[in-house]
């Protein structure tokens, strides 16, 4: 639909006939420095400057980003001559990420967990999750990713997400590995923290699916419902339909399709709301996470029945996402059995053994 929402030029923006420098020594670098000053000032006000000094990696990343903004007018035009494109999918990922982190920090503060840990966790799982999501897609559709003739061209094609090409389940699986490493490193109960961040996970899913709608991926099957949608000739969906021979290149748009991206977005937001409301009533650590993920496994399986962008796998009619939904559902059922039946018994046993006889 709207893959590229707008572009920010490398040199300047013209507003009301006035040229305002953007990158380099411009408004972007000024805003970045102002934000950093505000964060440091707040930490100084709270007497936590020592926390900043103990985290040189964060300071280094922040400074490197500032240098990149300053050097952008020299390097950037070589890759994007018309300016930085703001993709609809990327914007939705950004909105989902920031909203999810904000929501989780508030819940963490209520539970006595430092909000900074949520930001650390977000950074720790975002990049591995994105790599996992892209890797899952690359394994599933290597012919769409590795289109170059040389190793360098294929690497650049792998990291180019401008045309979409990530799979949510791949991100969740790789992000889960990073999550447990983070919890082990920081000595945090993974089930307790999982309940705190569960609503945030599905807020991110909801916004991500809106991004899918803007990008034109994850499309549905042909239908004739009043709320069916079409994709124009410039969309990913249209290109896919032409490539598969479903429509002729002379067609102006795709057929009317199931709005599966909207279904998935609503599904994510509803699960997020339900998890957020259920949290105060939970009786076990891990209950919120387990029930939410089990619900998502079921709804994702059902929504896949309405999609037409994936073929059946392993000589069946089930798509790879349906197979993963089944696997995740079985694992989560085992987790819920542990949470509701085994964990409390193990805790009681440990308490009994610790009492002197």
**Tokens representing 7?**
């572009």
**Among candidates 177, 318, 204, 175, which has minimal Cα distance to 272?**
204
Q: Distance between CA atoms of 262 and 225, rounded to whole angstroms?
A: 14
Kindly give the pairing relationship between strand 12-15 and strand 18-21.
Answer: antiparallel
Q: What are the Cα distances from residue 272, in Å, to 115, 126, 294, 326?
A: 19, 19, 13, 21
Put residue 47 in one of left, alpha, beta given phi > 0 → left and psi -120 to 50 → alpha: left
Q: What are the Cα distances from residue 258, in Å, to 143, 225, 227?
A: 26, 8, 8
**Tokens representing 223?**
């239908």
Q: What are the Cα distances from residue 239, in Å, to 131, 153, 215, 257, 317?
A: 25, 22, 12, 15, 24
**Among candidates 237, 216, 208, which has minimal Cα distance to 300?**
208
Put residue 211 in one of left, alpha, beta given phi > 0 → left and psi -120 to 50 → alpha: alpha
Q: Distance between CA atoms of 320 and 324, rounded to whole angstroms?
A: 6
Does 42 belong to an annotated binding site? no
Q: Distance between CA atoms of 338 and 336, rounded to whole angstroms?
A: 5
CA dihedral 90, 96, 98, 99 (to 10 degrees): 160
- DSSP-derived secondary structure letter, 177: H
Which letter, b or e, does each residue of 250-284 get, where b requires 16 or more Cβ atoms within 10 Å of its Cβ?
eeebbebbbbbbbbbbebbbebbebbbebbeeeeb
User: Binding-site residues, please?
Assistant: 209
């Amino acid at each position: 639909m709207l893959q590229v929402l707008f572009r920010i030029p490398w040199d300047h923006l013209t507003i009301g006939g006035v040229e305002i420098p953007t990158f380099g020594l411009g408004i972007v670098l000024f805003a970045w420095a102002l934000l950093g000053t505000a964060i440091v000032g707040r930490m100084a006000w709270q007497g936590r400057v020592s926390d900043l000094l103990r985290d040189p990696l964060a300071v280094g990343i922040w400074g490197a980003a500032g240098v990149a903004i300053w050097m952008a007018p020299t390097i950037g035009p070589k890759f994007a001559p018309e300016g930085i494109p703001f993709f609809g999918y990327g914007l939705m990922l950004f909105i989902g990420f920031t909203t999810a982190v904000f929501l989780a920090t508030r819940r963490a503060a209520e539970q006595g967990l430092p909000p900074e840990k949520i930001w650390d966790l977000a950074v720790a799982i975002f990049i591995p999750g994105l790599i996992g999501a892209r890797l899952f897609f690359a394994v599933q559709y290597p012919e769409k990713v590795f289109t170059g003739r040389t190793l360098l061209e294929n690497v650049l094609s792998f990291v180019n997400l401008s045309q979409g090409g990530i799979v949510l389940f791949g991100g969740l699986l790789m992000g889960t590995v990073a999550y447990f490493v983070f919890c082990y490193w920081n000595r945090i109960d993974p089930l307790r923290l999982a309940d705190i961040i569960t609503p945030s996970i599905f807020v991110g899913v909801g916004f991500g699916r809106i991004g899918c709608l803007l990008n034109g991926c994850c499309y549905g099957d042909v239908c004739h419902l009043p709320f069916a949608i079409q994709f124009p000739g410039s969309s990913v969906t249209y290109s896919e339909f032409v490539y598969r021979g479903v429509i002729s290149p002379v067609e102006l748009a795709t057929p009317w399709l199931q709005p599966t991206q909207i279904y998935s977005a609503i599904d994510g937001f509803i699960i997020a709301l339900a998890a957020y409301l259920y949290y105060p009533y939970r009786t076990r650590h891990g209950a919120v996470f387990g029930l939410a993920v089990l619900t998502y496994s079921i709804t994702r399986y059902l929504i896949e029945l309405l999609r037409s962008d994936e073929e059946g796998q392993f000589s069946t009619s089930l798509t790879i996402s349906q197979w993963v939904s089944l696997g995740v559902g079985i694992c989560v059922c085992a987790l819920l059995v542990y949470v509701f039946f085994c964990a409390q018994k193990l805790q009681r046993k440990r308490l009994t053994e610790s009492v002197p006889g």
